[in-house]
């Protein structure tokens, strides 16, 4: 990833179920702290389910430099320390732009040793993204059949072929982009991972 690309960090934590209310306030406090740092672009968190102890947090910074300022800050260290009693980091993943799809799953994952907490975890090295020509091939292999099938199906929409070109392109890209991002591209990159990482 380039040093000046926006970077998203996904963190998976295990939270003691008996301390859900406390953990909810703690997670929000972490977000509130991060918002005051230069380069902060947004964040949020979700629980895997009401009865699950898995919680997921995402935050995004302008570039690696501003992310590292937040991660090395005394405010973040204090915040992590305040949650040690009930929150255990399981893994961390960093993603940058479209190349994030080509990273190994949880490529920059934290080593989740039994009993490890956020301050004890060890970050693993991130493998280099595949060459751009391989990324282009993978994207094309997903986009061509998606676009072909989708365009064919849209041909059955009454009067669609009579719409202005810009309206047809706007509708088709609005439909195909989420399909590519959420379904096709993750499937293609999983399928091609041995070739992409070779």
Boundaries of every domain in the chain? 7-123, 132-197
Q: Given CATH 3.40.430.10, say whether it is the number of domain 7-123.
A: no
**Binning pLDDT at 50, 70 and 90, where does residue 69 land?**
very high
Highest mean pLDDT among 22-26, 42-46, 128-132, 134-138: 22-26
The pLDDT assigned to 52 comes to 87
105 pLDDT band, cuts 50/70/90, is very low
Residue 77: its pLDDT value, please? 93
pLDDT of 129 reads 66
Q: Yes or no: say if 180 and 144 are a contact pair by the CB < 8 Å rule.
A: no
pLDDT beyond 80 at 197: no
Residue from 82, 77, 61, 50 nearest 8 by CA: 61
What is the chain's mean pLDDT, rounded?
Answer: 80
What per-residue confidence (pLDDT) applies to 107? Answer: 40
Residue 187 confidence class, pLDDT cut points 50, 70, 90: confident
Average pLDDT over residues 128-154: 86
For residue range 72-101, list pLDDT tens digits in order: 999 999 999 999 999 999 888 887 755 555
Look at residue 125 and tell me whether its pLDDT is greater than 90.
no
Residue 111 or 38, more confident: 38
Q: How far is CA 138 from the centre of its chain?
A: 19
> Three-state secondary structure along 155-177?
CCCCCHHHCCHHHHHHHHHHHHH
CA distance 2 to 165: 36
Average pLDDT over residues 26-43: 90
128: pLDDT strictly greater than 80: no
User: Is residue 73 classed as helix, strand or coil in its secondary structure?
Assistant: coil
Q: What are the residues facing 59 on neighbouring strands?
A: 9, 43
CA atoms within 13 A on the CB side of 139: 15
């Amino acid at each position: 990833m380039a040093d000046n690309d926006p970077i998203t960090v996904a963190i998976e934590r295990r939270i003691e179920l008996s301390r859900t209310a406390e953990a909810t306030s703690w997670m929000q406090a972490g977000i509130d702290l991060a918002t005051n740092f230069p380069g902060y672009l947004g964040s949020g968190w979700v629980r895997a389910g009401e009865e699950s102890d898995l919680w997921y947090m995402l935050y995004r910074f302008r570039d690696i430099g501003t992310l590292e300022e937040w991660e090395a800050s005394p405010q973040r260290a204090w915040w992590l320390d305040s949650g040690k009693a009930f929150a255990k980091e399981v893994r961390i993943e960093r993603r940058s732009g479209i190349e994030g799809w080509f990273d190994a799953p949880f490529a920059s994952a934290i080593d989740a040793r039994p009993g490890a907490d956020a301050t004890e975890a060890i970050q693993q090295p991130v493998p280099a993204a595949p060459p751009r020509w391989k990324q282009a091939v993978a994207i094309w292999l997903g986009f061509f059949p998606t676009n072909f099938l989708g365009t064919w199906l849209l041909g059955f929409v009454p009067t669609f072929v009579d719409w202005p070109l810009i309206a047809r392109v706007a509708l088709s890209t609005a439909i195909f982009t989420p399909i590519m991002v959420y379904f096709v591209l993750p499937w293609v990159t999983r399928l091609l991972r041995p070739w992409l990482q070779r």
